[in-house]
Amino acid sequence: MDPLNHNDSNKAMPPRPSPSVKFVWRTSSGRFVSLDNIEFSGEFPTPINYTVAMPPTPDNQPVPASAKPEDGQGPYGSKSSYQHDQTTAGARGGGGLKPSQSMIVSQTGDFDHNRWLFETSGTYGYGNAFWSSSDHGGGYDVVDDDTMSVSMEAFLDKPWKPLTRKLSIPTTIISPYSLDSFSNSDSLLKTEKKKNCRLLIATRLVVLAFFLMWRIKHPNPDAVWLWGMSVICELWFAFSWLLDQLPKLNPVNRSVDLVALHEKFESPSPSNPSGRSDLPGVDVFVSTADPEKEPPLVTANTILSILSAEYPVEKLACYVSDDGGSLLTFEAMAEAAAFADLWVPFCRKHNVCPRNPESYFTARGDPTRFKKDPDFVRDRRRVKREYDEFKVRVNGLPDAIRRRSNAYNAREEAKVARERETEEPTVASEPAAILQQATWMADCTHWPGTWLVPSPDHSKGDHAGILQVMTKVPDPDPVLGGPDENRIDLSGVDVRVPMLVYVSREKRPGYDHNKKAGAMNALVRASAILSNGPFILNLDCDHYIYNSQAIKEGLCFMMDRGGDRICYIQFPQRFEGVDPSDRYANHNTVFFDGNMRALDGLQGPVYVGTGCLFRRVALYGFDPPRAYEYTGVFGQSKHHLRSASLSSTISDESAFTEPPPPLDETPSDMPKKFGNSTLFAHSVPVAEFQGRPLADHPSVKNGRPPGALLYRREPLTAPTVAEAVSVISCWYEEKTEWGDRVGWIYGSVTEDVVTGYRMHNRGWRSVYCITYPDAFRGTVPINLTDRLHQVLRWATGSMEIFFSRNNALFASRRMKFLQRVAYLNVCVYPFTSIFLIVYCFLPAISLFTGTFIVQTLSVTFLTYLLTITVTLCLLAILEIRWSGVDLEDWWRNEQFWLIGGTSAHLVAVLQGLLKVFGGVEIAFKLTSKSAAEDEADAFADLYEVKWTSLMIPPIAIIVVNAVAVAVGFARTVYSPIPQWGKLFGGMFFSFWVLAHMYPFAKGLMGRRGKLPTLVYVWAGLFAIIVSLLWITVSPPGSSSSRISGGTLQL
């Protein structure tokens, strides 16, 4: 067969002379080999079929016999060598063409194609920059497989775009932080990460090592005990600082592309002609436990912000976990569901932000800014009135429930009394049974949860399971509203509301309910039966959605290339209602903008309890589809492992073209792992398949085909709801792996950290997603006592982790070395309180005794001290630069680190030791969520002084250091041989301690800066007692107080 087999698309055209064209073949190695006079063998396939498309230039056009060259003026005023036929040129080149002789002939005598193309009316070729509108596909005969001319729209497709980008810290910011600046090359960047360490960290580490060696080799013979305690504390501080700094070696930034997400999942395409959303489902969990400490109005506003989020309505479901089983919370959620019918369409119509009604209507600024709809002002006024009525109804629910219950109980008592009167009296009549004071619902039935007056089967720890679907499953297609004279005009607005479910798990005496972790696992099982969204968003009741696009931004990471290895997306926590000075570092920006962003450059941030988007199958305890093992002392060797993930066990070739079929028989390990629910077992592979990214690119592994999630959700049936009720029973988790390997992990008050640790230990990755504006916002306790109790709970959980198998020292090889260091720091930091308290008392002891931690303030000691201090300040400045933290926030964080370390952390260490060695269980105290009504009371809690035993150590440190400064100054002034060097050294460290304790002292002063009388009395008595004891033990004139030698030597 002739290898130069031309296409037959030009058979109808007149014969033309054979062009002088050289034919070449591009080999697999990239070389171009001429096809003239060669033997086809080796890498040349035979036969070769190809099509040659040549530009329509005057030297390769067929000239009809009737066409005769005429002398004429060309377009540039010179004689043309020939004149091209208008009809033929229109068919081939898109217009008449009369090039001049000087234009078409180059200096070598050949035809100058480039000059002809760009200086005449010739065509530009074909592509996405220019495409002719002629009938034959432009200036070329472009043919497809069927030898038919096609237009550009037939084959032009939008290029594949990633949904996220990983951005390194700018070189101008990070270059002083490392030995060498980062290169733009990815391979070189990875090499630099492995070889180079941070310049300042390395410098401070070296100086610190030399300083500690010098301190060990130069003891103070005048006060060996003081020198020994200081050296031990300094060694621990160096170790703690190293644990904190090592995970910060690789901070990164990330960005998402919501436009690309919309084009891939919500735009019309061949696989999705209707443009219906192909996004996976998302189940949002909201947890609450006590309506007194967590007001139902706050929870209701959070629910409304979720229901109005920018996400496909049919793919979104909200689950409220009421662990207290309160009728107040239940009816507040019912009121919220009714108000959502108005609030959600209003948000869609006018695109308001934020979508928390309380935050929206109380926000400062002009609400009409950027609003162009003439109905906005009228609609906003009506919705505001409806919301005020909604608030009044919710605030009046406690009284309404109490009055209703009293009325029904009185009616029942009267009914029982009438029945007793009609009964015949007996000789040995039994005593009348006491009628229980029940709590009644609005439909005249008993509330199955906790009653106002606790009774058997109706108390916080003893009540039935409750599951109520408050809004129906939304229709798959938009439901447009219409005009409403009494409310607002919703013509053309989708009025659907996502599904809202109220859940209160069953509690019975004798069962360990495992606090919040148990409640979240109950929601996982119930949601798997009802909606089975492959992704779960976990929010506290006081954390509402501030950015309505936050869920989509999180899904950009999950649906991107490599997203199947991500177990959760952690969002930073942002808070409202904090005092302007942030006295107690409530914003915690150093942790959320510094530490968490740095961990994102490793294996991912830790899970911090709220604002986290989970992959459901990761919570089920499965391994990631691809995992790696890190070996070596520092995990420098990376090896690929065959992971035993769910996708590798249930998927085959058909999994990429169609969803996995339902399981006919439950696998033998399913009941042992997940329980006896068949519906739940069937939902597991479905959730795994739906959570995969789109297989729209060859580099996407473990993907699903586009258009696989365009199905209609089945309506709920009575057996389905009954199955969901059964999986929230208190006995369901018996002899299963719930809380051990599946779901939220039990055994710690900080179940969030343990749950994230288990996922990372199996090889999963996590991502830190910072959005603008903030994704979520919540409240935080601003009272000093409440803040200390919150820190105590976190530190106690860290101690529980340290004394358990979840200690990072026992982590698997699937966890990176620096990630292991980060988790080790999480469970070790409370121990710093022991050394910190000792170090805070050392300056006072030095001033009382007239000694110091070193024998003399030598130049060597001061040089080391200055270098360490300067490098620490430079590190802080550079961290502030790449993390965006304000200097004031950094200083507040340092202050509260000392306050919490000398109070709550010490108690946490004691509680952890008592639990491990004494078996004493740790009580869990719920953090109060305040809901201030006006600006005057917004910071009322800040000035309220609530006494707690946690305040004793900081008060003692303040008083002792203040008295020591006075005693030391008096001793030095009246001493026969004043030792000013030791005085200045002790006073410097004492003032350092007092400066860190300033927010604590200010918190004891109340609203007007006045200390309570009790504090004055105890401080005065303590100072007098310490002074008298010291004078008695070591009077000023005694020989023991005369210390020879020691001057300030510089």
What is the distance between the alpha carbons of residues 864 and 684, in angstroms, rounded to a whole number? 60
DSSP 783: S
Phi and psi at residue 298, to the nearest 5°: -65, -45
Angle at 92 between CA 88 and CA 95, to 5 degrees: 75
Catalytic residues: 323, 752
Whether residue 827 contacts residue 905, with contact meaning beta carbons closer than 8 Å, is answered with no
Q: Nearest Cα to 868, choosing from 384, 212, 341?
A: 212
Whether residue 200 contacts residue 871, with contact meaning beta carbons closer than 8 Å, is answered with yes
What is the distance between the alpha carbons of residues 402 and 115, in angstroms, rounded to a whole number? 92
Phi and psi at residue 467, to the nearest 5°: -140, 120
Specify which residues 941 forms β-bridges with: none
Q: Nearest Cα to 31, choosing from 49, 45, 43?
A: 43
Whether residue 605 contacts residue 766, with contact meaning beta carbons closer than 8 Å, is answered with yes
Whether residue 551 contacts residue 613, with contact meaning beta carbons closer than 8 Å, is answered with yes
Strand bridging mode 466-469 / 499-504: antiparallel
Q: Token digits for 483? A: 């005009």
What is each CA distance from 214 to 221, 222, 857, 972, 988, in whole angstroms?
15, 17, 13, 28, 21
- The amino acid occupying position 852 is F
| Percent helix, strand and coil across the chain, each to the nearest 5 | 45, 10, 45
What is the distance between the alpha carbons of residues 843 and 710, in angstroms, rounded to a whole number? 70
What is the distance between the alpha carbons of residues 489 and 337, in angstroms, rounded to a whole number? 20
What's the 3-state SS for 589-630?
HHHHHHHHHHHCCCCCCCCCCCCEEEEHHHHCCCECCCEEEE
Whether residue 102 contacts residue 78, with contact meaning beta carbons closer than 8 Å, is answered with yes
Q: Half-sphere exposure of 807 toward its Cβ, with a 13 Å CA cutoff?
A: 10
Strand bridging mode 776-779 / 574-576: parallel
Which residue in this structure is represented by tokens 């992990």? 745
Dihedral angle at the C-alpha atoms of 292, 297, 299, 302, nearest 10 degrees? -160
**Residue 99: strand, helix, or coil:** coil
Q: Token digits for 69? A: 């060259």
Q: Can you count the helices (H) and strands (E) in the chain? A: 35, 19
Strand bridging mode 282-288 / 316-322: parallel
What is each CA distance from 18 to 60, 141, 418, 1023, in whole angstroms?
9, 18, 117, 111
Q: Token digits for 138? A: 């432009």
DSSP string, 909-978: HHHHHHHHHH-PPPP--PPP-----SSTTTTHHHH-----GGGHHHHHHHHHHHHHHHHHHHHHHHSSS-
Q: Token digits for 956? A: 């003692």
User: Could you count the other beta carbons within 10 Å of the beta carbon of residue 67?
Assistant: 14
| Long-range CB contact pairs, 268-272, < 8 A, 24+ | 269/706, 269/707, 271/705, 271/706, 271/707, 272/706, 272/707, 272/710
